[in-house]
């Protein structure tokens, strides 16, 4: 294991730096927008276009890589991400932010895709499960670390924008200096709704509802924290709690799903998340520790669902994993695009606790559907692969495909 990690150290270092900068901007931008007195609708719209740009990048960037290569694509996308973040600090108008946030999503998808294709190229098949587990943890822990950088400055000034831009640009250095050979061409998105529905209606429905919840968290989590009366540093800690919950739960929940019907695990954690959301809606306004705990546990019960949906759909079809992952990614992204707009309206009309009522409704509906399918459709319990997969791009499926589970 040490030998293979030494071969991908530069790539994983780039991931850590990139996701730390990205994690910082996830909280910085909504908090900065709140300081400008923007409405939750406007902030939610900027989050929605980020996911729209991300999906567009997953479709377009493979052709860009085919023309100019991996290293040049990575450098260009890092430059776009850096310029978009700095531009958001300089031009604080809604039209400019909508364009810049879409550009950020587009660029981040390209950065993920290049890194993941390289990891796939240098990881021996028998070691891919371990590399994937390490990569998944670095993705979420890097974003959690980025939240802590909120204490280095004030969201109303440009200093945190500069820190984030430095990190996004610094991620170029390890990749630019790596001696790893260029990978093969990137897989494009192939989405066949009928194939995905035939493989698993549970995966389609739960990926959509999980996207509704996690997309609203990534885009409007800072707005929720501010609505509960938290300052900028405390909001960063709140976001970090949710991300950390997802990071810590990913592997144990994935392994648990390998031992039984994955639908039972999906339905079970969604039911637990709905119960936690009910507690948050009723009591989080009166106890800040309960607020942090609720966000931590909601992260733990929603962020692993994406990987479980891919694994369950893949268990029940002979379609290549990349195509299954592409379909689940699109369905999840649709939820991520729509979710922030709904939550913005709810917070504007009914205040901060409405976020938890929204999470409760989404998870309850999805869990009821999942348990219903468990009773009416019997599925075999033999699994094709372990359910540990970060929510990035379709390229990561190539690293997971036919990989043995990490031990």
Is 198 in contact with 348 (CB distance < 8 Å)? Answer: no
More confident residue, 405 or 371: 371
Average pLDDT rounded to a whole number, residues 242-271: 88
Report whether pLDDT(4) > 80.
Answer: no
Length of the chain: 407
pLDDT band of residue 95 (cuts 50, 70, 90) is very high
* Distant-in-sequence, close-in-space partners of 394: CB < 8 Å, separation ≥ 6: 58, 187, 188, 189, 322, 325, 326, 329
pLDDT of residue 312: 82
pLDDT of residue 404: 44
DSSP string, 259-286: TS-HHHHHHHHHHHHHHHHHHHHHHGGG
Is 243 in contact with 299 (CB distance < 8 Å)? Answer: yes
The rounded distance, in Å, linking the Cα atoms of 306 and 367 is: 14
pLDDT of residue 348: 87
CA geometry: angle 69, 72, 74, nearest 5 deg: 100
Q: Give the alpha-carbon dihedral of 130, 133, 137, 140, to 10 degrees.
A: 150
pLDDT of residue 387: 58
Report whether pLDDT(281) > 90.
Answer: yes
CATH architecture of structural domain 2-180+190-400: Up-down Bundle (1.20)
pLDDT of residue 386: 59
Is 249 in contact with 370 (CB distance < 8 Å)? Answer: no
Q: Which range has the worst mean pLDDT, 190-204, 227-241, 255-269, 339-353?
A: 190-204
Report whether pLDDT(80) > 80.
Answer: yes
Maximum Cα interatomic distance, the chain, rounded to a whole number of Å? 57
Question: Which residue is associated with the tokens 């919840």?
Answer: 213
3-class secondary-structure state, position 31: helix
* Residues 116-174 pLDDT 10s: 888 777 776 666 666 777 788 888 889 989 998 988 888 888 899 999 999 999 998 88
For the chain, percent of residues with pLDDT exceeding 70: 87
List Cα–Cα distances, 392 to 108, 187, 266, in angstroms.
Answer: 9, 14, 20
pLDDT of residue 381: 58
Mean pLDDT of the chain: 86
DSSP string, 372-400: HHHHHS------SS-----SS-TTHHHHH
Backbone angles phi, psi at 394, to 5 degrees: -65, -20
The rounded distance, in Å, linking the Cα atoms of 46 and 56 is: 15
Sign of the CA dihedral 185, 186, 187, 188? negative
The token pair that represents 261 in the structure block? 């019907």
The rounded distance, in Å, linking the Cα atoms of 159 and 141 is: 23
* Residues 297-330 pLDDT 10s: 999 999 999 888 888 887 777 777 777 778 888 8
More confident residue, 201 or 272: 272
For the chain, percent of residues with pLDDT exceeding 90: 47
Q: Is the pTM of this model over 0.85?
A: yes
CA geometry: angle 308, 313, 319, nearest 5 deg: 135
Average pLDDT rounded to a whole number, residues 338-355: 92
How far from each other are the two terminal CA atoms of the chain, in whole angstroms? 11
pLDDT of residue 359: 97
The rounded distance, in Å, linking the Cα atoms of 104 and 53 is: 7
Average pLDDT rounded to a whole number, residues 293-297: 96
Q: Which range has the worst mean pLDDT, 137-141, 221-225, 339-343?
A: 137-141
């Amino acid at each position: 294991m040490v030998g293979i990690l030494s071969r991908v150290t530069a790539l994983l270092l780039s991931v850590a730096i990139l996701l730390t900068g990205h994690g910082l901007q996830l909280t910085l931008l909504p908090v900065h927008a709140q300081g400008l007195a923007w409405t939750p609708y406007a902030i939610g719209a900027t989050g929605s276009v980020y996911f729209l740009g991300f999906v567009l990048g997953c479709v377009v960037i493979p052709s860009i890589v085919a023309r100019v290569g991996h290293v040049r694509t990575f450098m260009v996308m890092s430059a776009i991400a850096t310029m978009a973040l700095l531009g958001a600090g300089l031009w604080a108008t809604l039209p400019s932010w909508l364009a810049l946030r879409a550009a950020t999503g587009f660029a981040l998808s390209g950065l993920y895709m290049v890194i993941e294709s390289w990891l796939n190229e240098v990881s021996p098949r028998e070691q891919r499960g371990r590399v994937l587990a390490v990569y998944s943890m670095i993705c979420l822990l890097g974003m959690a670390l980025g939240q802590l950088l909120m204490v280095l400055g004030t969201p109303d000034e440009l200093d945190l924008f500069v820190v984030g831009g430095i990190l996004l640009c610094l991620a170029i250095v390890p990749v630019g200096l790596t001696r790893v050979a260029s990978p093969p061409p990137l897989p494009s998105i192939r989405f066949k709704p009928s194939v995905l529905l035939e493989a698993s209606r549970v995966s389609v429905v739960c990926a959509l509802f999980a996207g509704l919840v996690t997309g609203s968290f990534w885009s409007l989590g800072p707005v929720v924290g501010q609505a509960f009366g938290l300052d900028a540093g405390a909001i960063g800690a709140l976001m970090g709690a949710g991300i950390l919950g997802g990071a810590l739960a990913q592997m144990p929940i994935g392994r648990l799903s390998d031992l039984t019907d994955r639908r039972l695990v999906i339905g079970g954690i969604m039911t637990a998340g709905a119960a936690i959301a009910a507690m948050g809606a009723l009591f989080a306004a009166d106890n800040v520790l309960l607020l942090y705990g609720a966000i931590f546990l909601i992260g733990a019960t929603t962020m692993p669902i994406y990987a479980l949906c891919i694994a369950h759909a893949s268990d029940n079809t002979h379609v290549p994993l990349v195509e299954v992952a592409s379909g689940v990614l699109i369905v999840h992204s649709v939820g991520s695009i729509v979710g922030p707009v709904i939550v913005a309206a709810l917070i504007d009309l009914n205040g901060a606790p409405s976020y938890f009522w929204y999470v409760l409704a989404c998870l309850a509906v999805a869990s009821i559907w999942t348990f219903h399918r468990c009773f009416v459709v019997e599925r075999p319990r033999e699994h094709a692969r372990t359910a540990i997969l970060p929510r990035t791009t379709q390229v990561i499926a190539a690293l997971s495909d036919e990989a043995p589970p990490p031990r």
